[in-house]
Amino acid sequence: MSAVAPARPGTGARPRARDLTGYAAGSLGMGVWVTVPGLLLLYFMTHTLGVSPFLAGLTLLLPKIVDAVAHPLFGTLSDRQARRAGHRRGMLRWGLLLALAWIGLFSVPPGVSGWPAALWVGAFYIAGNVLYACFQVPYLTTPSDLRIGYHERTRVFMYRMLLLTVGLLGAGVAAPALVSSGERGAYARMAVLLAAVLVATGAAAVVFVRRLTDRCGFRVPDGRAHSVSADVRIAWRDRDFRTLVLSYLFTSVTTHLFLAAVPFYAEYGLDDEGLTAVLMGAFLVPAVVAGPVWKRVSRRTGKQRALLMCQGAFVVGPLALWPGDAMGLPATVAVIAVLGTAFAGLQLFAFSLVPDVVAAAESRGTARAGAYTGVWTATEATGTAIGPYVYSAALAIGGFVSTTDGRAVAQPDSALLALLIGVTVVPAALMAVAAGFQARFSLDRARSPAGPDAG
């Protein structure tokens, strides 16, 4: 194993805003991949490709079995690369090929529908998830790699979450507008347009990850080689990390269930399919501006208390949507905006606690940042699949009727009730479980919000 060069001058320096902005640009493309499949794939399959809700849900869920293996594997491989080369950028570059799988995902050939269409989507979804993991694991390990303190790690994630939310907003509003006709050709054109965003923002991230590590220093993982299973066991034995992972699993399931439900709620709960883009805007515009506010809140309360506040808002908020169009559009938009504000905090605090856990593990001599991040991103990926699957299961139980090319079809009352329960009661219950796990997280209790590690 070759020796890693010592840290360059500038080790421990405060990250510059322009470097953080460039690094965070990678999250714009991540926002496209996270938002659009979660928002539109279930709807695409049930309304354009004629796939039944049950099969559509399986198509979204089963590829995540690959993720459960790929993310921890890439975490271990990323650590090995970091020990050998002093950086993780090689794997990042492979992730730029995600754009090809992205285009294939929504470019289902004419005449292909039902289970063959589900097979097509599932194959490209697996390829995309693997390439996304190539990018996501080393990208999200960067804050743990930098030689910076407690509040500086929150600052890094604030930039990242701000641009991630911009990506979520742009994709969440533009994609539904581009495919409003419901035709498969519209989905293919949308995919080609957004593929350019994936490539450009990913390339910017590769450049600025290097600039950040050059300035702030790079924490090289310990010099011993480890197996994937050993890395996963070490990460899972960390009580605080395990608690945080379980909390975020239910958080991710909840938020991605909610995203998958938005088009159905707009069409059947508010009687206007065109309101999907409006609701996504109401959800994500507040999230764009909430990041800096949540950062100031966390300096007063600590990340743990602030995260619990956001989870509490997501327990109550979905229940307020039960009346549907009877509550009026302004009130609905207001509730969605509150949920969007909470969503920004859920992402910011959960992700910024991960490098804190890694730093604590490092002080005990067990830090393996890539391994921790691999487990974390596998958890996130699992949540992105389970959420839409749970909602599709609710639709299937209610007897929801699928169609092709966006044609209107009458739904039975049982299906309308099921899709309403799925967007209100179910996410509220799931987030309550997430908050229960998060309440057991103890690492942040010892932190003074304005302590010496303020960064």
Tell me the one-letter amino acid at 131: L
Which of the two residues, 82 and 254, has the higher pLDDT score?
254
Provide mean pLDDT across the span 10-18. 69
Tokens of 92: 């990042």
- pLDDT value at 222 more than 70: no
- pLDDT value at 71 more than 90: no
> Would you put residue 411 in left (φ > 0), alpha (ψ -120 to 50) or beta?
beta
> What is the C-alpha separation between 7 and 60, in angstroms, rounded?
43
Return the minimum-mean-pLDDT range out of 261-265, 356-360, 362-366, 424-428: 362-366
pLDDT for the residue numbered 9: 39
What is the sign, positive or negative, of the torsion defined by CA atoms of 288, 352, 380, 138?
A: positive
Which of the two residues, 328 and 362, has the higher pLDDT score?
328
- pLDDT value at 447 more than 60: no
> Would you put residue 6 in left (φ > 0), alpha (ψ -120 to 50) or beta?
beta
CB neighbour class for 312 (10 Å; exposed up to 12, middle 13-18, buried from 19): middle
> What is the C-alpha separation between 234 and 231, in angstroms, rounded?
5
pLDDT for the residue numbered 322: 92
Provide mean pLDDT across the span 94-122. 92
- pLDDT value at 223 more than 70: no
pLDDT for the residue numbered 434: 96
First to last CA, the chain: 34
Which of the two residues, 362 and 309, has the higher pLDDT score?
309
Condensed to tens digits (0 to 9), the pLDDT of residues 316-332 reads 999 999 988 888 899 99
Condensed to tens digits (0 to 9), the pLDDT of residues 372-417 reads 877 887 888 788 888 888 998 899 899 988 877 666 777 889 999 9
Q: Which residues contact 376 (CB under 8 A, 6 or more apart)?
A: 140, 245, 248, 354
> What is the C-alpha separation between 315 and 88, in angstroms, rounded?
38
> What is the C-alpha separation between 349 and 449, in angstroms, rounded?
13
pLDDT for the residue numbered 365: 64
Condensed to tens digits (0 to 9), the pLDDT of residues 427-437 reads 999 999 999 99
How high does pLDDT run on average in the chain? 83
Confidence of residue 10 (pLDDT cuts 50, 70, 90): very low
Which of the two residues, 362 and 205, has the higher pLDDT score?
205
Residue whose C-alpha is closest to residue 398's, from 27, 13, 46: 46
Tokens of 174: 């533009």
> Would you say 23 and 157 are in contact if contact means Cβ atoms under 8 Å apart?
no
Q: Which residues contact 132 (CB under 8 A, 6 or more apart)?
A: 30, 33, 95, 98
pLDDT for the residue numbered 121: 94
Residue whose C-alpha is closest to residue 161's, from 370, 380, 349: 349
Confidence of residue 2 (pLDDT cuts 50, 70, 90): very low
> What is the C-alpha separation between 211 and 214, in angstroms, rounded?
5
Provide mean pLDDT across the span 135-157. 78
> Would you say 28 and 203 are in contact if contact means Cβ atoms under 8 Å apart?
no
Which of the two residues, 212 and 438, has the higher pLDDT score?
438
DSSP 13: P
Provide mean pLDDT across the span 193-213. 89
Q: Which residues partner with 146 through β-bridges?
A: 218
Condensed to tens digits (0 to 9), the pLDDT of residues 272-323 reads 877 888 898 888 888 777 877 888 888 888 889 999 999 999 999 999 999 8
pLDDT for the residue numbered 454: 41
Task: Please report, for residues 23, 245, 275, 385, the alpha-carbon distance to residue 48 in angstroms, rounded to integers and kept in the order given.
Answer: 37, 35, 18, 20
- pLDDT value at 451 more than 50: no
pLDDT for the residue numbered 140: 78
> What is the C-alpha separation between 312 and 290, in angstroms, rounded?
16
